[in-house]
Amino acid sequence: IGLADASFMGSGSERRYEDLCRNIINDMNQYGLSVVDDFLGMETGLKILNEVRSMYNAGAFHDGQLVHNQKPDAPSSAVRGDKIRGDKIKWVGGNEPGCSNVWYLTNQIDSVVYRVNTMKDNGILGNYHIRERTRAMVACYPGSGTHYVMHVDNPNKDGRVITAIYYLNINWDARESGGILRIRPTPGTTVADIEPKFDRLIFFWSDIRNPHEVQPAHRTRYAITVWYFDAKEREEALNRAKLENSRTNNAIISSTSQGHAQSQ
Ligand SMILES: Cc1cc(NC(=O)CCC(=O)O)nc(C)c1Br
Ligand SMILES: [Fe+3]
């Protein structure tokens, strides 16, 4: 996978930006995923990490979902079935106070995604029309051995086509800290094991092409995720939801009105 070095963002050289985008286009067409190292450079990466740490320490994150304890040799007091916290998350729109660096990151990712979506000869990426995204989901794995089960981000055409994840973990060594993102691109038998390294940005198709899991992490593990929508798939998903809504509402109204009639 073309590990493009993108810390040009500081030097702003146009040529390397084009090369980066070309690498991502090739990777997405060939593998359905792309890994970009040194996306923003040390200085900017640290500003984002410090901002996320202060959010986390301010208790701004929602408690992660409860998961069964993974430790087979759990100490006698904590029986095997006890629950531990999974990843904790906080949704960031970007213009809130104290989130200016996360906002800068999402702007940088936006410009890359919009660029690769409109460049010539961009293959599969040319099939999509990306005009909007979710807010940024800042996630922290507390490092108590929590993991994230194998799943697909968008299994039922909710409109999300690209998952972008930015990692903030300095000197991450998976041999001692685990926390590998394992993607199983389908169809196929390959497995991509991706370490959540500092200033690393990854992209992958959000749908069933990329089931993925996070292996147990034994050190605090930060990641920032944004999902990009394809305009057509998104509109169709919203229309289905509206239709479903009106059916349910009519069902409720008719059942209550019948109920009402009977009670008279
Ligand atoms: C809340 C939520 C989190 C994630 N995160 C990952 O897959 C982990 C990626 C990584 O941190 O390497 N995915 C979904 C579909 C939901 Br929903
Ligand atoms: Fe996911």
**Could you read off the pLDDT of 53-89 as tens digits, one per residue?**
999 999 889 877 766 665 555 555 444 556 666 789 9
pLDDT in tens, 159-213: 999 999 999 999 999 999 999 999 999 988 999 999 999 999 999 999 999 999 9
Average pLDDT over residues 128-132: 98
Ligand 1: residue whose CA is nearest its atom 16: 153
Could you give the ipTM of this predicted complex? Answer: 0.96
Residue owning tokens 């992660």: 64
Give the span between the Cα atoms of 47 and 105, in whole angstroms: 10
151 Cβ inside 6 Å of ligand 1:
yes
Residue 75 identity:
P
Residue whose CA is at the smallest distance from ligand 1 atom 15: 153
Distance between CA 42 and CA 49 in Å, rounded? Answer: 10
Question: Per-residue pLDDT for 30 more than 60?
Answer: yes
Q: Is the CB of 4 under 6 A from ligand 1?
A: no
| Residue 117 to residue 165: CA distance in whole angstroms | 17
Distance (angstroms) between ligand 2 centre and the Cα of 138 equals 13
Q: Which residue has the higher pLDDT, 42 or 82?
A: 42
Cα 256 → chain centroid: 42
For 158-174, b where at least 16 C-beta lie within 10 A, e where not — what string? bbbbbbbbbbbbeebeb
**What CA–CA distances, in Å, run from 60 to 45, 55, 175, 222, 255?**
20, 6, 30, 14, 42
Mean pLDDT, the chain, integer: 89
Least confident of 44-53, 60-69, 156-165, 244-253: 60-69
CA of 211 to the centre of ligand 2 (A): 8
Ligand 2 is a single-atom ion; what residues have CB below 5 A from it?
153
Which of 225, 226, 227, 228 has most ligand 1 atoms within 8 Å of CB, for mutation?
225
Q: What is the pLDDT of residue 78?
A: 47
